Amino acid sequence: MKKPVTINDIARELNITAATVSRALSNHREISAATKEIVRQAAIRLDYNPNKVASSLRSGKTNIIGVLIPTAEHIFFGSVIHGISNAASMNGYEVLIYQSNESEQFEKKGINAFLNARVDGILASIAKDTRDFSHFSYVKEKNVPIAFFDRFNDSLGISSVCIDDYRGAFLAAESLIKEGYKRIAYISGPLHIKTFSERVRGYKDALEQYDMNFDPGLIYNGDISIEAGRNAIKAFFKLERKPDAICAVEDFTALGALKELKGMGINVPGDVGVIGFCNDLFSEHISPSLSTVDQQTVAMGEEAFELIHKLIKDGHKNQRVHRKVLEPIIVLRESSKRT
């Protein structure tokens, strides 16, 4: 690897100083237009690429955002990253990715890597296995801007972007009620994650508001997986009083439920209605097509970038916690349409 050209090389070539070259290239106003032009041409001629590492060391800014996600293998996070990354590019930032693989240990490693890399800010979505949140508090103590997206924890005084999970689940349950379903069960995700506990709350409140009696036996503590959906159905249909509709914490869970119901010869949506949450890509294309709640993933990514960008720019000044809440969009398809 031959040595890259530096501003010193340009300076030597033009018999000026490196400082002038630096200023000319950053379009400083106290440099004559003529000099700027000469420098720019020399930069091109010598094939100069500014060294961002040196610049970062000097300025204390890397213009890099660290993004911590549970996994890149789920399109939900891919979409959010799509939003974050494009917004970042447009604002002169780059994006460093780290996967926690849903493990607290890797999550801590990722945070550490980001701090060592001196990223200007961190966007994180919490791993399912995480019970100790001290690494996030640590970031905050270090005064490194940080915000959560989707999976957050509101007891840490850290800003976040998410959709209104409570309202999303409320709308989902309500839509089943309005279709005439009478015994609506809920398949939940891990409840220590706020995102998921809020959804259960939304489901319960919808039942209450429509004067349907709530049966704790109709809540299954599951997970975001096809398997959890199948198991939930198996459990529900051993009950004496079986449900006639399923509200699932996530589309994969709903998919598992659908498959298991199909396997049992139960008609969806005729006998049992199903609604998911996420609006994953497959939801529209399975049959019956899956009713669900759209999470506005790309918008969430864009908002997440805006938020961290604001926190970075504000520095110490505006320390208050921001909570951006996006409106969930209910998407009604075949799986919950009785009529």
Binding site for a copy of itself (CB under 8 A): 1-2, 4, 49-54, 56-57, 62, 64, 71-75, 77-79, 81-82, 85-86, 89, 94-99, 101, 106, 109, 112-113, 115-118, 142-144, 255, 259, 281-282, 285-287, 298, 315-316
Spell out the residues 6+ positions from residue 327 whose beta carbon is closer than 8 angstroms to its own.
163, 164, 167, 296
Would you give the DSSP letter of residue 71?
A: -
CA gap 177, 90 in Å, rounded: 44
User: Min. distance of Cβ 81 from a copy of itself in angstroms?
Assistant: 4
Q: Binder to DNA among 41, 44, 54, 235 (CB under 7 A)?
A: 54
Task: By CB under 7 A, name the one of 41, 59, 89, 267 that touches DNA.
Answer: 59
Q: Which two tokens stand for residue 236?
A: 């529900």
Q: Which amino acid does the sequence have at 224?
A: I
Q: Which is nearer to a copy of itself, 99 or 130 (CB)?
A: 99
- Rule CB under 7 A: say whether 41 interacts with DNA: no
- CA separation (Å) from 56 to 51, 86, 119, 244? 9, 22, 10, 60
CB closer to a copy of itself out of 142 and 238: 142
Q: Are residues 149 and 304 in contact, defined by beta-carbon separation less than 8 angstroms?
A: yes
Check residue 16 for interaction with DNA (CB under 7 A).
yes
Residue 140 binds which of DNA, a copy of itself, none (CB < 5-8 A, kind-dependent): none
Write the single-letter amino acid at 229: G
Give the residue carrying structure tokens 């529900």.
236
Q: Of 13, 31, 71, 310, which lies in the binding site for DNA, with binding defined by CB under 7 A? A: 31
Asked if 91 is part of the footprint of DNA (rule: CB under 7 A), the reply reads no
Q: Which of 55, 137 has the CB closer to DNA?
A: 55
202 close to 214: Cβ distance less than 8 angstroms: no
Contact 282, 204 (CB under 8 A): no
State the nearest-atom distance from the C-beta of 55 to DNA, in Å: 4
Judged by CB under 7 A, which of 37, 45, 55, 143 binds DNA?
55
Contacts of 276 (CB under 8 A, 6+ apart): 248, 250, 251, 253, 254, 255, 283, 290, 291, 292, 293
Residue 34, binding choice from DNA, a copy of itself, none, Cβ under 5 to 8 Å by partner class: DNA
- For residue 170, count other CB atoms closer than 10 A to its CB: 24
Q: How far is the CB of 262 from a copy of itself (least distance, A)?
A: 9
Pick the closer one to DNA by CB: 28 or 241: 28
Q: Say how far apart CA 251 and CA 257 lie, in whole Å.
A: 10
Q: Which residues bind DNA (CB under 7 A)?
A: 3-4, 6-8, 15-20, 22-26, 28, 30-32, 34-35, 50-51, 54-55, 57-59
